[in-house]
Amino acid sequence: MKTTPFFKAVMAIVRKDLQAEMRGRELVGAMGIFALLSILIFSFALELDREARTEVISGVLWVTVIFSSILGLNRSLAMERDQGNLDALLLAPIGRGAVYVGKLIGNYIFTLAISAILLPVMSALYSVSLFDPFVLLTLLLGVLGFTTVGTLLATMTVQTRAREALLPIVMMPVALPIILAAVRASTGALSGSAQGDWIGWVQILGALDAIFVVMCFFLFPFVVEE
């Protein structure tokens, strides 16, 4: 059987995810409300003064982004599985790698959309401008890193008994190096210290992304065979 070219298949899956989202708004809605609630809770819980805010804002940003992305990943893959679409994708004459990259890009876009909502809201609520080119770069790289790991692991955990409960447990430790590097890089960029002090973290983040993308791409076929 002739298989659909890789990029065409990837784009078809991404388009399907975006279209479903445009019509249902099931993911971005839940993720967005959750993210806004978390930053409000953080600002009550931490009772920050002006100086402390600049110190912790990138930590708050990353914790919020990763938790709402876990929420979205769970939903995204659970929907595929419950409605039988995952099986349909696997039956289709496309490579397993294309399925993975398609789902990854979809989840990446959704999490970036959440980040795009968070940036202005947080800048306003915490009176710290987050619109720094390096913070944006760190977001692009960091979100890519943990959606890469998350898409693979969510595909696994939606097939288990514990389902939603298991994803944070298996994903957080593996994604932690990415979060660590991302928090350090964005804190450094916001603190206004010399670029040489923190640019290394951006490089580490890029390297981690490359490692995880390659590993997860090759491991994905093993978690969907049946």
In the complex, which residues of this chain contact other proteins (CB under 8 A)? 149, 152-153, 156-157, 159-162, 166, 169-170, 173-174, 176-177, 204, 211-212, 215-216, 219, 222-223, 225
Least Å distance between CB 137 and other proteins?
Answer: 20
Determine whether 208 is exposed, middle or buried from the number of CB atoms within 10 Å of its CB (0-12, 13-18, 19+): buried
Question: Of 16 and 81, which CB lies nearer to other proteins in the complex structure?
Answer: 81
Question: Of 127 and 193, which CB lies nearer to other proteins in the complex structure?
Answer: 193
Cα-trace Rg, the chain: 18
The one-letter amino acid code at 215 reads M
Least Å distance between CB 162 and other proteins?
Answer: 5
What is the torsional sign of CA 73, 199, 122, 117?
negative
Question: Of 73 and 156, which CB lies nearer to other proteins in the complex structure?
Answer: 156
Least Å distance between CB 165 and other proteins?
Answer: 9
| Residue linked to tokens 């944070």 | 168
11 alpha-carbon distance from chain centroid: 19
**What is the b/e burial string over 150-188, where b = at least 16 CB atoms within 10 angstroms of the residue's CB?**
bbbbbbbbbeeeeebebbbebbbeebebbbbbbbbbbbb
Write out the two tokens for 199.
């640019």
Helix and strand numbers (H, E) in the chain are: 8, 0
Least Å distance between CB 170 and other proteins?
Answer: 5
Write out the two tokens for 169.
């447990």
Least Å distance between CB 63 and other proteins?
Answer: 15
Question: Of 190 and 216, which CB lies nearer to other proteins in the complex structure?
Answer: 216
Are 118 and 63 a contacting pair, CB within 8 Å? no
Question: Of 167 and 190, which CB lies nearer to other proteins in the complex structure?
Answer: 167
Least Å distance between CB 220 and other proteins?
Answer: 9
Question: Of 125 and 172, which CB lies nearer to other proteins in the complex structure?
Answer: 172
SS3 129: coil
